Amino acid sequence: MFCYQCEQTAGGKGCTKIGVCGKQPDVAALQDLLVYTLKGLSQVALEGRKVGVNEASINAFVCKALFSTLTNVNFDAARIAELVKKTVSLRDGLKGKVKGAGGKDVLTAPATYVPEGSIEALVAQGEKLGPLQIMDEDENIRSLKHIVLFGIKGVSAYADHAGILGQTDDAVYKFIEEALASIDRTDIPLGDWVGLAMKTGETNIRAMELLDAANTGTYGHPVPIKVPLGTKKGKAILISGHDLKDLEELLKQTEGKGINVYTHGEMLPTHGYPQLKKYPHFYGHYGTAWQNQQKEFTDFPGAILMTTNCLMRVPSAYKDNIFTTGLVGWPEIPHITNLDFSPVIAKAMAMPGFAADENGKSVMVGFARNAVMGVAGAVIEAVKNKNIRHFFLVAGCDGAKPGRNYYTEFVEKVPKDCVVLTLACGKFRFFDKDLGDIGGIPRLLDIGQCNDAYSAVAIAKALAGAFNVGVNGLPLSMVLSWYEQKAVAILLSLFSLGIKNIRLGPSLPAFVTPAVLDVLVKNFNVMPVSTPDEDLKAILG
């Protein structure tokens, strides 16, 4: 086993015995094998495009299968093995159509790979096909290949979410296939891999734009709303992850059943969507970030539904109460298909629920691009009048690895004439702090999920236009935390936009070599976080 795609990888170098995330070696091997087979399917798909054979269903499948290899998504070896076999089946079926249309027969190793029958045999094949297979190449090319691979994993996640709600762009699918098809090539020079990394960022911006259109077009633009952090007497279901369609269907199916629905983790911002918040039993938020779920889920007296990524090892304490759906998987945990949440509802009805109301704090969400730009005039005047000195985007992933308290302390020390924008689960380090306001403008603005990063880009571009400067000329500093592959895609997006002076932590990616880092420093002045005091002094003077 060798995996170093997330920030918490063992020793800052790579997981070689078991994943820090809980991924077992057999699952790691099968995920590597799945990526390998997706390379072959992509190579055939690209040949098909040359002769007019372009299967939309296969393009969407590539995204879903690649998404399932992200950190904390699917830990179920049997389901990943099924994806491997389906990939090969689709590949071989597509080959026939391509040949029938006059296309060439693709004879690369990934396009001719034949899977073994048993899971154990597939694992053995996968063990020979992981990241170690390209370790003997130039280390900087290897680094860039992995940056692109991990980046398109993030792109595939956003594209899959958007596709679920009907928003697609074939250009996004095509680039993902082109990138996958290129990973094993040895004839692409270093400079071209840098270009592919930037193209990954550009493609991710388009994928996030599609997702923004999908979410806002289906559920309305988020509006500022106060979300209770307490609990309400009665039966309860907790939903975690990211997917809005899953949440909508759960709300529909629980309507009138006396069950209150609570969000967990990155589902918190969904309270701001009008078409979701219209359900009166969509009550509040329970718990904090993904890495605290084992304690928080143990204490939850209802059923739990995991959507998309952020699943951790499932202990016996709530093994009988938790369900997965979509691409998420854990061995022996019931998996919901076809959006039929009746098993989740039945479990919630059989559990005690909350015995009494318990009031707690509340937090504000819903400050996405439409809401922020609705008060842009007041924001611009506040900057011109020097009531607002600076904006900080403190955003990204949370995690259990030491060093993330930096972000809590940083926000606490941001001067009172500055505004903090935040998104993704990194906000749970400070999401319930009362920072007050500046002339009625809250000093802490929750833009949304990591899936809502497009909102942050749109806000920055709009403000830059209002002040007639580039984004780098704004009184805006980005202090980001990363954990998994969606964060890699977002970082590449920022680079593709030419955004500089980003502070990144809590540690730098293990897959970035010193030479590649040097390129990023010289071109974008990306820098590691130091201490809150030192960074604030450097930014504000």
Q: What is the pLDDT of residues 348-389, one digit of tens each?
A: 999 999 999 999 899 999 999 999 999 999 999 999 999 999
- The edge-to-edge listing of strands for the beta sheet with 259-263 is 282-285, 259-263, 235-240, 303-306, 322-325, 335-336
In the block, tokens 């204490």 appear at 299
The CA–CA distances, whole Å, from 530 to 57, 133, 279, 502 equal 46, 35, 44, 12
Q: What is the mean pLDDT of the chain?
A: 96
The pLDDT, as a whole number, for residue 197 is 98
User: What pLDDT is stored for residue 131 in this prediction?
Assistant: 73
Q: Which fold is adopted by the domain 367-540?
A: Rossmann fold (3.40.50)
Nearest 5°: the CA angle 493, 498, 504 is 65
What's residue 268's pLDDT? 98
Range 225-350 has CATH code 3.40.50.2030: yes
Contacts of 198 (CB under 8 A, 6+ apart): 492, 495, 496
In this predicted structure, which of 76-80, 115-119, 260-264 has the lowest mean pLDDT? 115-119
pTM: 0.96
The domain spans of the chain are 10-218, 225-350, 367-540
What pLDDT score does 524 carry?
A: 97
pLDDT digits over 466-475, tens only? Answer: 999 999 999 9
Residue in the structure block whose two tokens are 């590449």: 492
The architecture CATH gives domain 10-218: Up-down Bundle (1.20)
β-bridge partners, 537: none
Judge whether 10-218 and 367-540 match in fold.
no
| Alpha carbon distance 310, 483 (integer Å) | 11
Q: What is the pLDDT of residues 241-278, one digit of tens each?
A: 999 999 999 999 999 999 999 999 999 999 999 999 99
| The two three-digit tokens of residue 266, written as one number | 């990155």
Distances (CA, A) of 18 to 24, 68, 118, 201, 390: 5, 18, 22, 30, 43
Segment 111-120 shows an average pLDDT of 94
Q: What is the pLDDT of residue 133?
A: 66
Specify the pLDDT at position 400.
83
Residue-level length of the chain: 541
pLDDT at 343: 98
